[in-house]
Amino acid sequence: MAKPKSLYKCRSCGHTSAQWLGRCPGCAEWDTFSEENSPQGATKGFDYSSGTEPMPISELSTVEGVRFSTGIGELDRVLGGGIVRGSAVLVGGDPGIGKSTLLLQAMGSLADQSHRVLYVSGEESPQQIRLRGARLGVLSDSLIVYSETSLEKVFKAAESVNPGVIVIDSIQTVHSSEVESSPGSMAQVREVSAKLISFTKKRNIPLFIVGHVTKDGSIAGPKTLEHMVDTVLYFEGESGHAFRILRAVKNRFGSIMEIGIFEMREEGLAQVENPSEFFLAERPEGASGSAVVASLEGTRTILVEIQSLVCKTAYGIARRTVVGLDLNKVMLLAAVLEKKAGIVLTDHDIFVKVAGGIRLDEPAVDLGVIGAISSNYYDRAIAEGTILFGEVGLAGEVRAVSRIEQRVSEAEKLGFKRCILPKDNLKAFKGKAGKGLKVELVGVATVAEVIEKLT
């Protein structure tokens, strides 16, 4: 009798091979191949269908009708305006970041709106969940808690509870007896997820899956899982900081630009209603090297402080240390400052940090970095009540950015008096919305001009 052939699969990208390989040809990662136990059965087709017929696009019902609110505005925002019926949402993040807390609170809120919720936990006992639930104030009769790791039992429970929403916390702890691999393995995670998704899609109920992040920073069984679900959310935060950011990295039902901001408190996660105030709360007034930028995060503008220290290099090569921004961006901006504004930085260490631990990726923060570095270099504080924004090009030019009205009005709301912005933006802005402003607008065209206008 022929020996059944083994199949090897990359844990990172899902590439399969008939033999073990040291390096994956799919994603070029080393030592990611492991043997799959059920070579034939593993990729059985799953039925994700919702039982619809082919139809003209104009006659399809819209997504809006099938959404409902979680009661937590920040979560709704990241989901694209609430939960979509029949959608599968993966929530990833570091252990202890607050995934279980977030979902328990959201489910408590749904239960309060008389949705029936099945919360399956493979990690905590019912007593532990009850304790946490009491603290979070989510003790509702509609919130059904089930501590179980067997997928078959979960399905049985779901049949009898008949929930409107299902949460699986976490996918790595649930296993199916039909798969031989050990719980938490690639094959298990994939099979269990596929079965769960097909189960909930058929019944048109939303499914939340909690996934742990592996040490290389991706959700275990990453690519396959991310392909299978409709939405992937990451819950992030710096250890030592109370605030948490919920970010969509994939969303079939909404924008991936939106972020949700929370603060971890004694009594659970609180929504941060006014993020700018939150991020500027501890700003040192009159300190050199501190600049406030208006950064666009999704549909919102957030004012954030960028801090910089520029010190003479003691020995060896000058260092650049960056927290909360792209290191290459900062190196590039330092080179522009050196070449176009005559600030010699090659013999200086540069440290740049975004205060509060948030990460900024928007081009408009360039001007903030320029402001912070040059302010500390000259040891002159930026004039009080000033904010900056604008993209910087390699020729030292300051380029226009989008949504000026929104940025300026956020600055005005928080009592800022002066706004340094790209000259091209200023021209367009003055034409329409710029009347009756309490903020002085200062247009700049070059990096050298920015430095002149800082103090």
Residues within the interface to ligand TYD (CB under 6 A): 93, 95-101, 132, 135-136, 264, 266-268
CB of 95 to ligand TYD, least distance (A): 5
Residue 75 or 187 having the CB closest to ligand TYD: 75
| Cα gap 424→438, rounded to integer Å | 20
- Least separation in angstroms between CB 233 and ligand TYD: 12
Q: Which two tokens stand for residue 312?
A: 């003479």
8 Å CB contact between 407 and 441? no
Contacts by 60-69, CB closer than 8 A, 24 or more apart:
63/253, 67/253, 68/115, 69/113
Among 12, 70, 100, 231, binds Mg ion (CB under 5 A): 100
Tell me which of Mg ion, ligand TYD, none is bound by residue 96, counting a contact when its beta carbon lies within the kind-specific cut-off of 5 to 8 angstroms: ligand TYD
Within 8 A by CB and 6+ apart from 106, the residues are: 70, 71, 72, 75
Is the CB of 104 or the CB of 411 nearer to Mg ion?
104
Quote the tokens at residue 362: 């928007």
Bond from prior residue into 295 cis (ω within 30 degrees of 0) = no
Q: Which is nearer to ligand TYD, 25 or 96 (CB)?
A: 96
Residue placing its CB nearer to ligand TYD in the complex, 116 or 244: 244
Alpha-carbon distance of 131 to 307, in angstroms, equals: 41
Decide if residue 276 touches Mg ion (CB under 5 A). no
CA 170 – CA 172 distance, rounded (Å): 5
Which does residue 132 touch among Mg ion, ligand TYD, none (CB within 5 to 8 A, set by kind)? ligand TYD
Per-state percent for the chain, helix, strand, coil, to nearest 5: 30, 25, 40
* CA 434 – CA 440 distance, rounded (Å): 10
Give the residue with the Cβ less far from Mg ion, 189 or 354.
189
Q: What gap in Å lies between CA 393 and CA 20, rounded to an integer?
A: 47
In the complex, the smallest distance separating the C-beta of residue 266 from ligand TYD, rounded to whole angstroms, is 6
Q: In whole angstroms, what is the distance from residue 206 CA to residue 159 CA?
A: 15
Q: Minimum distance from CB of 60 to ligand TYD (Å)? A: 37
CB of 121 to Mg ion, least distance (A): 8
- In whole angstroms, how close is the CB of 101 to ligand TYD at the nearest point? 3
**Is the CB of 103 or the CB of 336 nearer to ligand TYD?**
103
4 binds, among ligand TYD, Mg ion, none (CB under 5 to 8 A by kind): none
Shorter beta-carbon distance to ligand TYD: residue 268 or 422: 268
CB of 432: closest distance to Mg ion in angstroms?
49
Contact 169, 121 (CB under 8 A): yes
Task: Give the residue at shortest CB distance from Mg ion.
Answer: 100
Residue 30 has phi, psi (to 5 degrees) of -95, 150
Name the binder of 414 from Mg ion, ligand TYD, none, CB < 5-8 A by kind. none
The Cα–Cα gap between 410 and 404 comes to 10
* Span from 92-100, 248-256, 373-381, 420-428 in contact with Mg ion (CB under 5 A): 92-100
By CB under 5 A, the residues from 281 to 340 that bind Mg ion are: none
The listed partner (ligand TYD, Mg ion, none) that binds 59, CB under 5 to 8 Å by sort, is none
First to last CA, the chain: 84
Q: Which is nearer to ligand TYD, 266 or 285 (CB)?
A: 266
Question: Rounded to whole angstroms, how far apart are CA atoms 164 and 182?
Answer: 30
Residues that bind Mg ion (CB under 5 A): 100
